[in-house]
Structure 1
Amino acid sequence: MRQAVLNLEESMIRQVANAGMGRDDVLKFWFGESDEVTPAFIRDAAAASLQQGETFYAHNLGLPELREAIARYATALRCAGAAPIGSERIAVTSGGVSALMLAVQGLVDAGDEVVAVTPVWPNLTAQPAIMGAKVTCVSLKPVAGEWRLDMAELLAAITPKTRLLIVNAPNNPTGWTLTRAEQTAILAHCRDTGTWILADEVYERLYFEPTTNGCAPSFLDIATPEDRLVVAHSFSKSFLMTGWRLGWLVMPPSMTLHIGKLIEFNTSCAPVFIQRAGLVAMERTSEITPRIVSHLKTCRDTLVPLLQAVPGVQVMPAKGGMYAFFRLQDQTRFGDSFETAKRLVVEAGLGLAPGNAFMVNPASEAQGWLRWCFASQDIARLGQGVERLERWLAL
């Protein structure tokens, strides 16, 4: 095996989950997905496609009608004055994970310098490492009750030698979101340095702040089609389709053909019956996403005050996403969050994700932090989970 692969860490989230698999007494909040099943009309579209015998290969870049639907959807979400997004900039992928990996494969060589904003979902820093790149992290910091990015530190880290900047906003796990001013400064700086931007915007629609277009600020609102910008999206979060493995990329038109070649050598294409489900999800998004966002806001506004009331817990409300990222402040007792998460499963029946999983350098950045996915149909489960945490802390 290549050394870069041997060096990969096994998912800490999976390790914690494996410790509680099969236990009915564990309240599970570790994975980043809702516990609500995909709407019936989406499932029916996939079933109908299978019944019609659509079991053959599709175009590498996806069904033309789905690419066109995604282009219309993405354009409709843009702010006034933004460049329209045509289907020639769209590639359908087998999940958001595949979308991100394809972008990294297309842009990063061994030895390249990559900058990432952390804490972040571990795949985003592992993928360039798999390609042999050197990853430098710029960490968000909790300041005055919210997560903030030190823009001076980030821009200083991005030099003409930086091949790629990776940024996830709204962010998993913190819920932090880039402001328009921050996006504008980052884009201008990356234009000067010749640096590509890979923006993971899969939580774009899961945004709780007041907005005119129903989504978080996007780089697509301010970039030109020719900018060195690739935006990754997924059907998983906003359409309740985590297990379907369907996503897409938005990129400069000159890049699309080459991403199609990479798709051929990775997965060939997304299955047609899953793309049919995605097409129906696009056509009926107004029946799905606003309801999801409203419910997630209720979940957040239920969980966060309960956690804030627990002695020794620090938590800030997320501006977007589906997570509460909180810290157990007694570092002498709860230093290693991976071990703490495993103990919570065994001793409290509470399944959370360890903060270590979201940091490249967990020894200095993530100790004491835990991620709680609050995407629960049953709001009462959130309160039950906090009760278990509080009882465990009191032991």
Structure 2
Amino acid sequence: MSAAPRPAADLADSLPERIRGVGTSQIGLVADRGRDDPDVVKLWIGEGDLPTPDIVVEAAHRAMLAGETRYTYSRGIPRLHEALSDYHRRHWGVEVAPERFAITAGGMNAIMQACQALLDTGDEVIIPSPNWPNLAEAVRVTGGTPVTVPYRRSADGRFSLPISDIEAAITPRTRILVVNSPSNPTGWVMPLAEMEALRDLARARDLWIISDEVYAHFTYGNAIAPSFLQICTPSDRLIVTNTFSKNWAMTGWRAGWLVYPQGLAGTFGKLGQYNTTSIPTFIQHAAVAALEEGDSFIRTMVGRCAESRTIMMEGLSRLKGVTVFAPEGAFYLMARVDTGETSLDLAFRLLREAKVGVAPGTAFGPEGEGFIRICFAVSPALAREAVARLTRVLGER
């Protein structure tokens, strides 16, 4: 007679600690309550409201009709590597050899592969906080231990990250320093001089840097954000992760890339093989079109974000109990809201009473308590509507 199956709770308890310890996304908790409500202004997730540009969609269609629907190289098609090399030369003036790129299933898979390549069980990874929660959870899934270093705040609300604070957090178990600039959710942009100081610290301590540069074009001072590729050599312990999602409204396409040091093509070829085999071949041809023909779309996206940023900054600053800090980059506002509620409870209330979906600050770590994050990668009209709805619920000063 066979034994009865174990209860589901017992099965969950039997999983490895690194999986049991993975947190639940508070952004998802809020979004799942209003995801299917057409009346909700959805500002919780890092996604613009423009459709993918026609040049990308048409390139995918042409590739499918041409039979580009089969397996391909695990690191991606050579033509896409060449297009990425040209893209980095055009925007940052750097020479990155085509063989240093691996194509991934979005920026998240790029981060996961970086962690898989670098971490042993118990290795520590230093991450500034508040931070995109997926960074720390990728570390946990791959057996590492995230160590947060809080951003500092100046009197005018600007975020900063002294290199001395990072250095103080380093222990014998530290393996990786993570930088996300421009930052989700803070909007902080790391100055080039500080990047050089962090590079020198990593070299001195034999540490790796993972630089998440997905929002590089989204800055509001007429200059692209600097890249670690501008100050590092091909032999530095640097991995840069990026995605097609933000620049070209391709969040659902799941296409990204990473740049690794010279000599690791074999390593990332194997990781690509065992993670995804490869991302769809026709999507890679669409990504080539985005890189080669999509610069004007990026300018449209950034200009639109800049206008909606201004609308939300001006509108939210008039609300009772709300303090707004101007983000230097990315497309999020971190607004402090003093209502006596937790940020999660406030997010649920705004969803219920204002029909506006925001992300609770604690989704990005305990340092985010008292804040909400609002994505302003939406049309100016939608930004005005969101402000009007929030005004009706929170009231003006």
TM-score class, shorter: over 0.9
In the alignment, residue 372 of structure 2 is paired with which amino acid? L
The 5 Å alignment of 1:319-330 reads: 319-330=328-339
Q: Assess if the C-alpha contact under 8 Å between 1:158 and 1:190 holds in 2.
A: no
TM-superposed deviation, 1:142: 2.5
8 Å Cα contact 1:203-1:321 kept in structure 2:
yes
Are 1:50 and 1:273, in contact at CA under 8 Å, matched by a contact in 2?
yes
Alignment of 1:306-325 (within 5 A): 306-325=315-334
Partner of 2:25: 11
State the SS of the aligned residue for 1:325.
Answer: strand
**In the aligned structure 1, how far is the partner of 2:250 from the partner of 2:89?**
22
1:81-96 aligned at under 5 Å gives the runs 82=94, 84-96=95-107
Residue type at the aligned position of 2:191: T
Q: How does 1:67-146 map to 2 (within 5 A)?
A: 67-79=81-93, 82=94, 84-145=95-156, 146=158
Q: Which amino acid aligns with 2:167?
A: L
Per the TM alignment, residue 66 of structure 1 is displaced from its structure 2 partner at its CA by 0.4
Alpha carbons 2:121, 2:144 under 8 Å: kept: yes
Which residue of the other structure, out of 260, 274, 282, is the alignment partner of 1:251? 260
Letter in 2 for 1:356: T
2:92 alignment partner, SS class? coil
Amino acid at match of 2:373: R
List runs of 5+ in structure 2 lacking aligned partners.
1-14
% identity of equivalent residues: 39
CA distance in 1, matches of 2:44, 2:241: 23
CA contact (8 A) 1:159 1:193 kept: no
Looking at structure 2, the residues matched to 224 and 29 of structure 1 have their Cα atoms a distance apart, in angstroms, of: 39
The yes-or-no answer on 1:157 pairing with 2:169 is: yes
Per-residue deviation, 1:2: 1.3
Q: CA deviation at 1:160?
A: 5.0
Q: Secondary structure at the match of 1:137?
A: strand
User: Letter of the aligned partner of 1:346 in structure 2?
Assistant: R
- Partner of residue 353, structure 2: 347
Alpha-carbon distance in structure 2 between the residues aligned to 1:22 and 1:134:
35
User: Which residue number in structure 1 is paired with residue 11 of structure 2?
Assistant: none
CA RMSD of aligned residues (A): 1.4
**Aligned-partner Cα distance in 2 for 1:342–1:245:** 29
2:315 aligns to what SS in structure 1? helix
Q: 2:38 aligns with which of 24, 29, 33?
A: 24
Determine if contact 2:128/2:148 at 8 Å carries over to the other structure: yes
1:59 maps to what in 2? 73
| 1:358 matched to 2:364 | yes
Partner of 1:148: 160
Matched, 1:272 2:275: no
SS of the aligned residue for 1:167 comes to strand
SS in 2 for 1:254: coil
Pairwise CA distance, 1:116: 0.6
**Structure 2 CA distance for aligned equivalents of residues 10 and 53 of structure 1:** 40
Residue 171 of structure 1, CA deviation: 0.3
In 1: Cα distance, 2:352 partner to 2:325 partner: 27
- Residue in structure 2 matched with residue 388 of structure 1 by the alignment: 389
- Match in the other structure for 2:5: none
Output the CA distance in 2 between the equivalents of 1:305 and 1:184.
35
TM normalised by structure 1 equals 0.93
For residues 26 and 196 of structure 1, the distance between their equivalents in structure 2, rounded to whole angstroms, comes to 42
Structure 2 distance, partners of 1:103, 1:128, is 10
Count of residues in Structure 1 that have an aligned counterpart in Structure 2 = 381
Per-residue Cα deviation, 1:81-118 (whole angstroms, up to 9, x for no partner): x5x11101111111111011000100011111111111
1:386 aligned partner, one-letter code = V
Q: Secondary structure in 1 aligned to 2:263?
A: helix
3-state SS, counterpart of residue 264 of structure 2: helix
Q: Which residue of 1 aligns with 2:213?
A: 201
Please give the alpha-carbon distance, in whole angstroms, between the structure 2 residues aligned to 1:143 and 1:311: 22
Residue among 287, 290, 308 paired with 2:296? 287
Offset from partner CA, 1:157-187 (integer Å, 9 cap, x none): 1345410011111000111010011101100
Q: In structure 1, what residue type is equivalent to 2:376?
A: F
5+ residue gaps, structure 1, are none
* TM-score, length basis structure 2: 0.93
Residues in 2 aligned to 1:380 and 1:293: alpha-carbon distance in whole angstroms: 16
Tell me which residue corresponds to 1:179.
Answer: 191
| Distance in structure 2 (CA, Å) of the matches to 1:96 and 1:290 | 21
